[in-house]
Every structure is written in C-alpha cells, then in structure tokens.
Amino acid sequence: MANETSRKLTTDEVDALMEGLSSGDLGDQSGVGGDLEVAPFSFGTDDLTLMGDYYALRLINERFARFARSVFQPMLRLQPRISSFPPEVKSFDEYSSSLDSFMSLSTYRIEELRGSLLMVFSPSFISILTNAYYGGNIEVLKTSRQEFTATEERIIEMVNEGLTRELKTSWKDLTPINFSRLGREVNPQFTTFVDASDLVIICSFVVQLPGVDAANFDILYPLQTLKPIASLLRSRVQSDIIEDDVSWKEKLEKAVLEVPLKARATLSEPIVNISRLLRLNVGETFEIPVSEKIDLYVEGIKMFNGDLGEFKGNAAVNVSKKIQK
C-alpha cells in the first residue's frame, strides 16, 4: 500500500490548482488534500538536516579551535580557551539581521571548491586584541565609532591571515584547500558574500578571556560551496581519523605536561684538600663560599641561573636567566 503522504495528485486536484493559479486566487484549499497532516518547518534551523550530518565538519571545527589558540596567544599574552559550537544552517539574511551594523566581515575564495567563506568579528573583540597586543589590559573599550582605526585594521589582517592558515591545516586531512582574499566590509548590508536568500553554514567559536565576557567569531560557508564534498563530510572513516588525531594529541600533550621532573639548586661546590679534611673535628666551622648566582638543574641538566632568596619563610631561588642550549 502506497504511503498516503507521497501519493500523486488526482486529476480533479490538478485542475483545481491550475484554475486557482490562473485566477490568482487559490481560495480555501481545505477540500484539496484536506485529510493530510501538515508539519510546520522552520527554514532557520540549528541542525544540519538540510545537508545531512556533516560530522567531519564538527570535528574540523574542534581541531581548528585548538589550532587557533596559537593565533591569539601572542596578542593576548596568554593561552585563551577556544571552543566550537555545533554548525547551524540559516539563510544569510536571517544571519546578517542578527548582526550589528558595524562588524569586520572578510570574504575569502576557496579555490578548490570554487566557493567562498566569510569570517566575522565584532569590533569589541578587535578592540580587546588591539589593546592587549600593544601592552594594554584585556578589557572592552566602549566606542560608538563606525570604522576601524589603522592599528585595528592591522590587527584584523594579522588575525585573518593566522586563522586562514590554521583553517587550511584543519582541513588538510579531509581535502586540501587554499584561500585567496576577496575583500572586506564593515556593514553586513554591503557584503557581497552570497544572496540574502541563500543558505549558509554558520560555524561559531567562543574565546574565553579573563575578566571580560567571552568573545565570539564566526566562519560562514555557503551551503552550495560544501555540497560537492558532502560525501566526504559525512564519511565516518575520514572523521574518525580526524577525531583520533585530535584526541591522541590532546592526551599525549596532557601526559607529557604532567611528567614529574627533579629540580635542584647548587649553592656552592667547595674544593678541599685531603689534609684539611682529615683535620676536621666536630664543632669546627667549614667555610663554604656562596656565589651570588645560583645554578638550577633539571634532571641533571643546567637550565637556569637564579638569585638566592626567601619566600614565605623558605629558602628560594628567583630565576633570572634561562640557559640557551
């Protein structure tokens, strides 16, 4: 028995539709297919059902989030925590309507896929990066400006260049891709990324920073750009390779960082002849010269120079120099 929801229209139903289209008034259609149940559908959806489960894309984003730390660390002078959100599918119009009128929107062409991507940053995040990079504190500087300063423009270039490099690395195990810059806008209404009605895949990332609210940035792919490699993105074999690579490296890094090492500080290495040593008796004082500079050894290897001092009532060494090997 055929499924009722996939049956063909009858001749009467086709005639009724054609008559309604000709007159411009379809009227009450309760008599046409009135026994069918209609399920509501939201075209702005937060899952990937429109293109299948792009499982590998989620893993690529997780990998990229780890690699992106190296881009922000020199600017922030700390290791930020970056996480990725599950990808969303929306029309570009729906996405852009949620943005402020002043943003950093950089468009890049993906040569191998004959498509593009959009990288989106808020001015507040750019302000944090700029202030920290030039020696200031990590803080949000409120402003009503509608354009970036020359210094902020330079920071945007540095961030975009670094992130596209790490994004290329994150994709390479799935498929090699290269980027070329197309342009940048500050107003979402003026960007020529895609048409307003086109569907885009939104990959959002959150950067957690001390003392301020978490910052976000987005990377957008047109749905049509990733369709040619849909089978690769759905491939569990490929995604498992990426997942194993990420988890294995994280576990190895954590294990290495937790290995205990024996450290010792050498205060002095006095030289005494045998005759002096034989004459020593209990209660006698043996002078030991202590150098101003203390050598600090890690697992028997001299690694640091330091100064002898005190910390909370205990003897301590203040590291003053790292010995280059």
Q: How far apart are CA 200 and CA 10, in angstroms?
A: 37
The pTM for the full model equals 0.60
Q: Which sequence spans correspond to the domains of the chain?
A: 55-256, 263-322
Which CATH number, 3.60.15.10, 3.40.50.2300, 2.30.330.10, 3.40.50.1370, labels domain 263-322?
Answer: 2.30.330.10
What token pair was written down for 180? 């070329």
Beta bridge partners of 321: 305
What token pair was written down for 158? 């540095």
CATH for 55-256 is 3.40.1550.10
Q: How many Cα neighbours within 13 Å face the side chain of 16? A: 13
In a structure prediction context, what are the per-residue pLDDT tens digits for the chain, which is 325 residues long?
A: 444 444 556 666 666 766 666 565 555 555 545 555 565 545 544 445 555 567 889 999 999 999 999 999 999 988 899 999 999 999 999 999 999 999 999 999 999 999 999 999 999 999 999 999 988 888 877 777 789 999 999 999 999 999 999 999 999 988 999 999 999 999 998 888 999 999 999 999 999 988 888 899 999 999 999 988 988 887 754 444 445 555 566 667 777 777 888 888 877 777 888 887 788 888 877 777 777 778 888 888 888 888 877 777 777 888 888 887 6
With contact defined as beta carbons under 8 Å apart, do 166 and 70 qualify? yes
With contact defined as beta carbons under 8 Å apart, do 219 and 116 qualify? no
DSSP category for residue 34: T
Cα-based torsion angle of the residue sequence 127, 97, 43, 179 in order, rounded to the nearest 10 degrees: -50
Classify residue 101 as exposed, middle or buried by CB count within 10 Å of its CB (0-12, 13-18, 19+): exposed
Three-state secondary-structure class, residue 228? helix
Neighbours of 229 (CB within 10 A): 19
With contact defined as beta carbons under 8 Å apart, do 93 and 181 qualify? no
Helix residue ranges per DSSP H, 134-273: 150-171, 223-226, 230-234, 236-257
Q: How far apart are CA 141 and CA 109, in angstroms?
A: 32
